[in-house]
Structure 1
Amino acid sequence: MSSAPAGDAASVPLLARTVPIADPGDLLDLLPRPDVATTASWVRRGDGLVGWGVAARVETSGATRMIDADAWWRRTAAAMVVRDAVGVPGTGPVAFGSFAFSRRSQAGGTLVVPRVVVGRREGRSWLTVVGPAGLGPTPSLAHSRGDVVPVTAPGEVTFADGALTSAQWEEAVAEVVAAIRAGTVEKVVMARDVVARTSADVDVRHLLRNLADQYPTCWTFAVDALVGATPELLVRRDQGLVACRVLAGTIQRTGDDAADLRHAAELARSSKDLAEHELAVQSVAEALGPYCSSFNVPDSPFVLHLPNVMHLASDVTGVVDRQTSPSSLALAAALHPTAAVGGTPTPRAVEVLAESERMDRGRYAGPVGWMGADGDGEWGIALRSGEVTGPRSVRLFAGCGIVAASDPAAEVRESEAKLTPMRSALTT
């Protein structure tokens, strides 16, 4: 059951005003304050969006959490007065969102419309300010940033077990492998958590800077206390075109370039990983079918190289059906959860992982991203991420695809590799 969206379209009309600006430099360096609840980011290779402050916000829950948020955004955006002097995807009013993996999770979902957004795309930069209609002179970046608080490090960091110890998690994986071999399910994506505690308050900008520096090919995100760098694009809708990046099948890097090239070749030939990847791609193609007039599925995956791991990856593309014209968030709702983060067959796999993980994932592995007033936007899967749960605590997450050939001890090692980005972001 979904709660009614809170904070419906503002009683006072909002004005969203977008103006071109000179290249502002590194977008993440513009974030003026450390408040994780009001800081928003979606940046890759230096382009993207950052935002701060809150002009409007909605919280949803239950099975229709994304559909309710999408409906709220359509109403809210339609009621806005928009003055957009740039006119590219990401200008005008923008909502950042993150949503729980499970419909049963108390984490629910959130869409936040920042008061200020700065964006850059293909050499063009802009500033959007949202506030009560009747704003004064043309907004400036310096005025919009206000008083800037210096970035601070979290100090000494310690790590502790989350819901399960690594040994308990290994046992849980072994139980799932046994269920798969018994024919109960084909694949289950198991997640685990680790709790980080810091000696100083966590400054989300410190985490974002480290993640962007270490993982420039990932989407570095922050929405409503969720922060991370995801390599997996759930869906992008851009002027009628749809794209999804599917990752499934992973091998840890060694730091030796020659050895990693050999491992990449092994990954590309691994029957276990290729089977896992094929299931994930099929899941995406089947979910996209009803919403696209046409789409393309690659014949074989490529190997995506990241600093800590390598993945089998496929880019699935399509054209939005003009009659239904679903928004990017509606597409994300249709796709989630994919086999890459749930398993196969997905409904049964999600039931198995809910029992075996013995924890609430919250918004880990759920959709995270942004959407414009026209429905275009980008939604990733909240992987390689953490939830800031207090001034000096962060809950870190990692997940692994479990199939019949999985070795529980090897899956523990893989999960440790996938925890590296957030561990490093905290300790660097």
Structure 2
Amino acid sequence: MPLPASHPALVVRSTRIADPGDLVSVIPAGADSPVSWLRDGDGFVGWGVAASIRTAGTARFAEAEQWWRDVVGSAVVRSEVDLPGSGLVAVGSFAFSAASAAGGVLHVPAIVVGRRNGVAWVTSISSAPDLGGAPVIHPAEKPLAPVLSDSRDGALTGAEWAQAVGAAVRRVQSGALDKVVMARDVVVTAEGPIDPRHLLARLTSAYANTWTYSVDGLVGATPEMLLRREKGLVTSRILAGTIRRTGDDEHDLALAASLARSSKDLEEHEYAVRSVADALSPHCSSMNVPESPFVLHLPNVMHLATDVAGVLREDVSSLTLAASLHPSAAVCGTPTLAARDLIGELEQMDRGRYAGPVGWLDASGDGEWGIALRCGHLEKPSQIRLFAGCGIVAGSQPDAELTESEAKLVPMRHALADD
């Protein structure tokens, strides 16, 4: 059952401020519930909780949506800024599976510091009738890197996971399904508390062109935008088909060309694009679905990528759209139900909020939602569980998929380090 939700009448004030520079650096040490949504230095960070709800089960999205409508309906908002992320916003993260105890969370930060298009602002949100003056924003004490003491396989060892992938390949080859996404986990322990600000600083520096997020202990840098809703338009970036970079530019260009011609990766990508287009089409009056993907270059890997865009035919919020898109073939498989059942049979773990929607929405329903990939969940102050997944089709090779999963763990391993 979901925890009781409160929806107090909130007072919201967004004030324009001087550019604070690195947004992660302004999150105070020991801040309660730090949040982040950043790409190429823009977006927002926040801390504190003005209001929140936790949900569970199949209704986790719908209950959060209704709660948010109630919050918006009773809020008083005064804003000097009219940019995405200003004014009243909520951040959220939802479990991959309805059966997961992780459920969903949607909360309104007490303080938000943001920047878009060269304009910076601070938002104060409270149930108090008088917010007082705008808070003074300044760089906080630099976070320390964790001293790591242990790293171990999670539900399955690498060898056991490769065997599970082999079983999945055989199931696909039998015709039971077209694609399934298999995930694995690794548990990392430190000698003391792991400061999420250190993880965010490392991720925003090394993976600036991804969306760096932090919501309720889930921290990561996702390259996959599930959807963006802004002023009646919806866009989605689909990634499926991956190859690891070598660091040699000439060799990497050759690898990118081979990825673009790979029948295995093109097949995997086609399933993912089709699932997103099919989910969005009922909500759109027109759509643009490119015939061929492009190769997206990230610091550690390259992906086949397709950007889908549509014009909304109805006033449906970004959270509702995210719910309709989840789970896409990029994180589950095709057909969805068969893939979901096979995941439950072979992975032997609860994904929690890994591979679920993560992002934010505002009072108008606009917002951005990514897929919680390249991430870790801070299960304890000194312990984090890292996740990585791979799309499995008939031509997949278990050892190659294990290698790909290791490449996808690199961003979070790097974020935990100090070099």
**Are 1:195 and 2:187 matched, yes or no?**
yes
SS for the counterpart of 1:205 is: helix
1:275-318 Cα offsets, whole Å, 9 max, x none, are 11011000000000111111110111000001111000000001
TM-aligned CA deviation for residue 239 of structure 1: 1.1
Q: Would the aligned equivalents of 1:153 and 1:200 in 2 still touch at CA under 8 Å?
A: no
TM-aligned CA deviation for residue 379 of structure 1: 0.3
Q: Which of 75, 95, 101 is the aligned partner of 1:106?
A: 101
**Are 1:204 and 2:196 matched, yes or no?**
yes
SS for the counterpart of 1:168 is: helix
- Find the aligned partners of 1:250 and 1:88 in 2 and give their Cα distance: 34
1:59-90 Cα offsets, whole Å, 9 max, x none, are 00111211110111111111111111212221
**Are 1:411 and 2:401 matched, yes or no?**
yes
The residue aligned with 2:176 is 184
TM-aligned CA deviation for residue 348 of structure 1: 1.0
- Find the aligned partners of 1:72 and 1:347 in 2 and give their Cα distance: 29
Q: Which of 337, 342, 350 is the aligned partner of 2:340?
A: 350
Q: Which of 10, 13, 20 is the aligned partner of 1:24?
A: 20
The residue aligned with 2:29 is 33
Q: Would the aligned equivalents of 1:81 and 1:133 in 2 still touch at CA under 8 Å?
A: no
The residue aligned with 1:69 is 64
Q: How many residues align?
A: 418
**Are 1:263 and 2:249 matched, yes or no?**
no
TM-aligned CA deviation for residue 4 of structure 1: 4.7
- Find the aligned partners of 1:51 and 1:166 in 2 and give their Cα distance: 37
- Find the aligned partners of 1:340 and 1:293 in 2 and give their Cα distance: 24
Residue identity over aligned pairs, in percent, reads: 56
- Find the aligned partners of 2:61 and 2:149 in 1 and give their Cα distance: 35
SS for the counterpart of 2:58 is: coil
- Find the aligned partners of 1:157 and 1:54 in 2 and give their Cα distance: 32
- Alignment TM-score, normalising by the size of structure 2: 0.97
The residue aligned with 2:304 is 312
SS for the counterpart of 1:172 is: helix
Alpha carbon RMSD of aligned pairs, Å? 1.3
The residue aligned with 2:387 is 397
**Are 1:325 and 2:325 matched, yes or no?**
no
SS for the counterpart of 2:324 is: helix
- Find the aligned partners of 2:140 and 2:42 in 1 and give their Cα distance: 22
What are the within-5 Å matches in structure 2 for residues 91-170 of structure 1? 91-142=86-137, 148-170=140-162
Q: Which segment is superposed worse, 232-241 or 149-158?
A: 149-158
The residue aligned with 2:324 is 334
TM-aligned CA deviation for residue 157 of structure 1: 4.4
The residue aligned with 2:43 is 48
Q: Would the aligned equivalents of 2:19 and 2:119 in 1 still touch at CA under 8 Å?
A: yes
Letter in 2 for 1:50: V
Q: Which segment is superposed worse, 55-64 or 129-138?
A: 129-138
**Are 1:299 and 2:291 matched, yes or no?**
yes
Q: Which of 215, 218, 222 is the aligned partner of 2:210?
A: 218
1:212-255 Cα offsets, whole Å, 9 max, x none, are 11100000000000000000000100111101000000001111
Q: Would the aligned equivalents of 1:101 and 1:362 in 2 still touch at CA under 8 Å?
A: yes
- Find the aligned partners of 2:17 and 2:110 in 1 and give their Cα distance: 17
Q: Would the aligned equivalents of 2:25 and 2:142 in 1 still touch at CA under 8 Å?
A: no
TM-aligned CA deviation for residue 93 of structure 1: 1.0
The residue aligned with 2:85 is 90
Letter in 2 for 1:18: S
Q: 1:390 to 1:136 in 2, by over 3 A?
A: closer
- Find the aligned partners of 2:86 and 2:417 in 1 and give their Cα distance: 35
SS for the counterpart of 2:310 is: strand
TM-aligned CA deviation for residue 201 of structure 1: 1.2
The residue aligned with 2:5 is 7
TM-aligned CA deviation for residue 132 of structure 1: 2.4
In structure 1, stretches of 5+ residues that fail to align are: none
- Find the aligned partners of 2:65 and 2:196 in 1 and give their Cα distance: 27
Q: Would the aligned equivalents of 1:155 and 1:199 in 2 still touch at CA under 8 Å?
A: yes
Q: Would the aligned equivalents of 1:157 and 1:427 in 2 still touch at CA under 8 Å?
A: no
- Find the aligned partners of 1:86 and 1:122 in 2 and give their Cα distance: 12
- Alignment TM-score, normalising by the size of structure 1: 0.95
- Find the aligned partners of 1:248 and 1:384 in 2 and give their Cα distance: 14
Q: Which segment is superposed worse, 18-27 or 329-338?
A: 18-27
The residue aligned with 2:366 is 376
SS for the counterpart of 2:193 is: coil
In structure 2, stretches of 5+ residues that fail to align are: none
- Find the aligned partners of 2:110 and 2:227 in 1 and give their Cα distance: 25
- Find the aligned partners of 1:171 and 1:86 in 2 and give their Cα distance: 54
SS for the counterpart of 2:84 is: coil
